[in-house]
């Protein structure tokens, strides 16, 4: 019985760390373009403990990129409002 659990554990570990295929990355890329879906799935995948670690890291990288983009947008907005005098 112990041996069966060990095999199941090894199978689950390899499933969680298996590299994503090109088609899986393309699906993720397309999913992240959908406005409402990405707001739900990116944080879910980025902060979940289960699931593929490569998908989790990709979701975390997307969060970092989105955060940088938002910071740039806010700084440009503040700069432009300061120039215009409003």
What is the domain partition of the chain in residue ranges? Answer: 2-84
What does the block give as tokens for 3? 């041996």
> pLDDT tens digits, residue range 8-47?
455 556 778 899 999 999 999 999 999 999 999 999 999 9
Residue in the block written with tokens 């088609």: 23
Q: Quote the pTM value.
A: 0.74
Query: How many whole angstroms separate alpha carbon 25 and alpha carbon 41?
Result: 14
> pLDDT tens digits, residue range 64-76?
999 999 999 999 9
Closest to 27 (Cα-Cα) out of 63, 54, 65: 54
Helix (H) or strand (E) run with residue 48 in it:
none
Three-state secondary-structure class, residue 58: helix
The distance between the two most distant Cα atoms of the chain, rounded to a whole number of Å, is 74
């Amino acid at each position: 019985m112990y041996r069966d659990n060990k095999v199941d554990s090894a199978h689950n570990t390899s499933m969680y760390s298996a590299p994503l295929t090109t088609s899986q990355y393309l699906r993720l890329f397309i999913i992240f373009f959908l406005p409402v879906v990405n707001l739900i799935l990116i944080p879910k995948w980025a902060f979940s403990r289960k699931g593929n670690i490569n998908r989790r890291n990709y979701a975390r990288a997307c969060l970092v990129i989105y955060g940088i983009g938002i910071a740039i947008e806010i700084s440009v907005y503040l700069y432009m409002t300061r120039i215009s005098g409003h």
